């Protein structure tokens, strides 16, 4: 394919359809009419000799060719955008940017309140869109450069991704206050004999916490309840004789909100390390640099 024969404007339309999943959504995003987007899609199909998107009950479903193209196209567009903007300062007092973060329910509980408080200090119209951190589709988005940051306990091994340590945390055990079996300490036997509330498997694998607990030598637990969200754990523990294992920062967050107490985990396990991950093409983006600095400051690393 001769690059001179390709209308590069079509690539932004391709990207908009991928992001919105609809011709109408792409038209609204780009400030175009829907017939103009439809015409551009026809030209894209001729250019790549593929249907690219098929109509379905869920909108425009990408073909395998489109899925293969989206990463390189997104990377190229991001590089062009950051090159054109290189040298221009990002002003949080005069920006309407939406930052896309895959922080999941843990991050929404612990990180997001502090981040929103920091953003409220500025005069711009800054917004956050949160994605589930363990969702495989979110990991694909960061590989395509469509997320500002993705958080995971695993350091990525991908040539286009960069990362840094965001937080290191201990695991602790929570139980309700005035528990009939233990009030001042919790032994290994107490832990093994107790009934546990456990975070359920996610569709892409175990939750971050469960994956850590299953590393090396898995710790046996009597699971009586499996749930899907961190936020439900403290209230269930506070109203039952069950116990649960959580990262300390989350336990500290809830200890003043629920009738619970915190004990050290009576087993030796590695600390939980959370990595902040981004696409290398974002590194020249001044807004991305600014947000990275803010988030590391909130994590105590700035």
| Residue 250 structural domain | 171-270
Q: Are residues 264 and 176 in the same domain?
A: yes
- Is residue 3 classed exposed, middle or buried when 0-12, 13-18 and 19+ CB atoms within 10 A define those classes? exposed
How many Å apart are CA 111 and CA 163, to the nearest integer? 18
Confidence (pLDDT) at 203: 40
104: left (phi over 0), alpha (psi -120 to 50) or beta: left
pTM higher than 0.95, yes or no?
no
- End-to-end CA distance of the chain, in Å? 47
Contact 254, 175 (CB under 8 A): no
CATH number at residue 154: 3.40.190.10
pLDDT average, residue stretch 4-32: 86
Q: Are residues 113 and 58 in the same domain?
A: no
pLDDT average, residue stretch 194-207: 68
- pLDDT tens for 82-129 read 666 555 578 899 888 889 899 877 788 888 999 999 999 999 889 998
- pLDDT tens for 146-160 read 889 998 888 888 888
Q: Are residues 247 and 196 in the same domain?
A: yes
Greater confidence (174 vs 97) lies with 174
pLDDT band for position 211 (cuts 50, 70, 90): low
H or E element at residue 238: helix 232-238
H or E element at residue 244: strand 244-247
Q: Are residues 211 and 62 in the same domain?
A: no
Pick from 85, 111, 145: which residue ends a domain? Answer: 85
Q: Are residues 19 and 159 in the same domain?
A: no
H or E element at residue 71: helix 64-85
Contact 195, 245 (CB under 8 A): no
Q: Are residues 186 and 266 in the same domain?
A: yes
Contact 177, 259 (CB under 8 A): yes
Q: Structural domain tally of the chain?
A: 3
- pLDDT tens for 27-59 read 988 888 999 999 999 999 988 899 999 998 878
Q: Are residues 264 and 175 in the same domain?
A: yes
pLDDT band for position 270 (cuts 50, 70, 90): confident
Q: Are residues 66 and 116 in the same domain?
A: no
Confidence (pLDDT) at 110: 82
């Amino acid at each position: 394919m001769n690059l001179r024969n390709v209308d590069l404007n079509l690539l932004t339309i391709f990207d908009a359809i991928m992001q919105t999943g609809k011709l109408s959504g792409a038209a609204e995003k780009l400030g175009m009419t829907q017939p103009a987007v439809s015409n551009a899609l026809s030209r894209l199909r001729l250019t790549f000799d593929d249907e690219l998107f098929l109509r379905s009950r869920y909108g425009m479903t990408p073909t395998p060719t489109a899925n293969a193209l989206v990463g390189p196209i997104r990377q190229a567009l991001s590089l062009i955008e950051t090159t054109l903007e290189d040298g221009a300062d990002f002003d949080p007092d005069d920006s309407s940017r939406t930052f896309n973060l895959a922080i999941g329910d843990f991050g929404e509980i612990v990180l997001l309140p502090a981040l929103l408080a920091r953003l409220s200090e500025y005069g711009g119209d800054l917004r956050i869109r949160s994605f589930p951190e363990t969702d495989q589709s979110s990991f694909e988005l960061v590989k395509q450069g469509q997320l500002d940051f993705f958080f995971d306990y695993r350091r990525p091994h991908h040539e286009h991704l960069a990362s840094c340590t965001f937080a290191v945390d201990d695991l602790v055990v929570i139980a309700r206050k005035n528990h009939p079996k233990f009030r001042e300490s919790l032994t290994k036997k107490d832990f093994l004999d107790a009934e546990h509330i456990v975070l359920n498997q996610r569709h892409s694998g175990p939750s971050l916490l469960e994956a850590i607990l299953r590393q090396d030598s898995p710790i046996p637990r009597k699971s009586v309840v499996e749930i899907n969200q961190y936020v439900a754990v403290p209230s269930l523990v506070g109203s039952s004789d069950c116990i649960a294992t959580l990262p300390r920062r989350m336990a500290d967050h809830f200890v003043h909100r629920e009738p619970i107490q915190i004990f050290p985990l009576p087993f030796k396990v590695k600390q939980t390390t959370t990595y902040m991950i981004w696409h290398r093409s974002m590194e020249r983006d001044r807004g991305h640099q600014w947000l990275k600095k803010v988030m590391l400051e909130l994590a105590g690393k700035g």
